[in-house]
Amino acid sequence: MAQNGFFENFDDDDVYRASKERSLDESTRNFVVEFGKSHAQIGFDLCPGDLQKLFDSGRDEEKPVRWMYVFLNIWAPNRQVELIELLGNRYKFSPRLLAIIQTMPPDTPPATSNRSVGKHKGLHKDDIELAISSVDTPRTRSPSQSLHTISQYDASKEMINFQSIDIGAHCANWMHELPHVKKDESILDEGSQRRLWFWLVLCDDNTVMSLHEDPGPVNNVEALKSMRGNTLSVLSQLSIQGHLSADPTSMITVRQALGLDAAATDSGTEGSSNLFYYLFDDWRAVYSTIAAYRARLRELEHDILADMTRKSGKSPNIEIIPRLHVLGRRVRQMEGLYSGYKNLITRIIESKPGMGHGMGHGMTTPRSLSGVGTRGQGVVLAPSATQRFERLGDRLDLLILSGTREFLAEKDALISMYFNINTQKDSEATARLTRSATLLAKLSVLFLPVSLMTSYFSTQISDIQDAYTVKEYWIVFAVMMSISFMGLFFFSRLLMWVTETLDEWVKEFSLSFARIFTKRGRARQREVNAER
């Protein structure tokens, strides 16, 4: 692999493999890719001087495959203050946006940069992005910290659906969050997500920038791969080597689509717009999030159905209802997240000119393509990318938002089913207890006459001592037991008949009394009215 700041042929297999390894290195700070339809080159860890030379060299019109596109990716922008300020000055970032990007995230070790970033403060407007799996690192704020000193990350922790769009003279910025699912530790932590910021900037010179919040020490290649998953997927497919080996379900067409549309007036705009879309759309992460919630819902459904066969002496699973409650809260948060995401897509598609900061140039609509590829004419989103954003919005409506509503309805149905099952089991247990109590009462009544007879035979009275034999005792015992059993059977039936009859009599008496009382009241009212 070439030294820092030098470019190599990204289509070369050795360079491609080395680039993949380096992009998964936690120490990698940034990379730049320039590509066209037939050629791509990549450079890693550019310093501000290298980037300034790249800007000063311009775009070689004789080699359109080189200047057609520049993709700049920066990890941990708070650790690269000089580089961020260079980009901010060139593309006219607003002071607020520049300060937000340079803000130090909480629980992050101090940067090793030559310049301090502690002075950069900004109120962060939260936003949304798609979820992928990762390891969570809790973020906490000191109790003594007041609302006046709250950082952007503290605000984003409390509010999920915030979103922000900045449109400048030469750039348009969409701030996203990457919530990463963490491993389950307790019921309250099930499905919780860590939100990492992801800034995506589309510039008017066919440049796309992506800036990732510093996650702090990760020390886990798989976790780092998960956090950078979509970015690395897009990066690998900008090379011919990666595109040929890509999974068909996640295949993107950025370089391959250049020049296919004869109506497109500028392939640079076409490429930058489509790359911007693919960086924006992490659709595989959406599926993984939905699948995780669906699997958890099916697991809880299995636990509830298994509770039907629970033995009477075993206590019910008291974790089911809290887990369903937490799952419902996560799904509602996801619904709000993707509702805001849908709104963000609408804002991107419907961005109007004249909204920019500074010179007044802003995001142009796909219909206003007169300034395509000319710096200072505003940011242009190609029609092909606009159509992709529209389809993404439709998928969010039809699959995600409708799916969350189905999740919530199924969650409520599971709660209702769980309580119905427990109510039914409680009713069965009560019925068993009632039958047992009735059986004990009948046995007591059955043996009561025999007990009295036995007490009579065992009484120490001189007149009856030695008057009865054992045979006579057992004959009397059999007779008393038979009479008691027959009496108990008929008495229980008679008791039921008497009880039902008394209930009917009481009901008829109550209705008759009510009718008589009503008639007398009405008659009394008529007499009073007649006297008047």
Task: Per-residue pLDDT tens, the chain, 532 aa: give them.
Answer: 556 668 889 889 999 999 988 888 888 888 888 888 888 889 898 888 888 888 887 765 533 333 334 456 666 677 788 888 888 888 888 888 777 777 776 655 444 433 333 333 332 333 333 333 333 333 344 444 444 455 555 555 555 555 566 655 555 555 544 444 444 445 555 555 666 777 888 888 888 888 887 777 777 777 777 778 888 888 888 888 887 776 776 778 888 777 666 555 577 788 888 888 998 888 777 777 788 888 888 888 888 888 777 776 677 778 888 888 888 888 888 888 888 888 888 888 886 544 444 433 333 333 333 333 445 556 778 888 899 999 988 888 888 888 888 888 998 998 888 888 888 888 888 888 888 888 888 788 788 888 888 887 777 777 777 777 888 888 988 888 888 887 777 776 666 777 778 888 888 888 888 888 888 888 888 888 888 7
The residue extents of the domains of the chain are 76-135+153-423, 468-531
pLDDT for the residue 14: 92
What does DSSP say about strands 30-35 and 70-75: parallel, antiparallel, or unpaired?
Answer: antiparallel
- How many angstroms separate the CA atoms of 228 and 23, rounded? 9
**First-residue to last-residue Cα distance in the chain:** 113
- Taking the C-alpha atoms of 317, 319, 322 and 328 in order, what is their torsion angle to the nearest 10 degrees? -90
The DSSP-derived string for 421-452 is HHHHHHHHHHHHHHHHHHHHHHHHHHHHHHHH
Q: To which H or E segment does residue 485 belong?
A: helix 470-531
- The identity of residue 85, as a single letter, is E
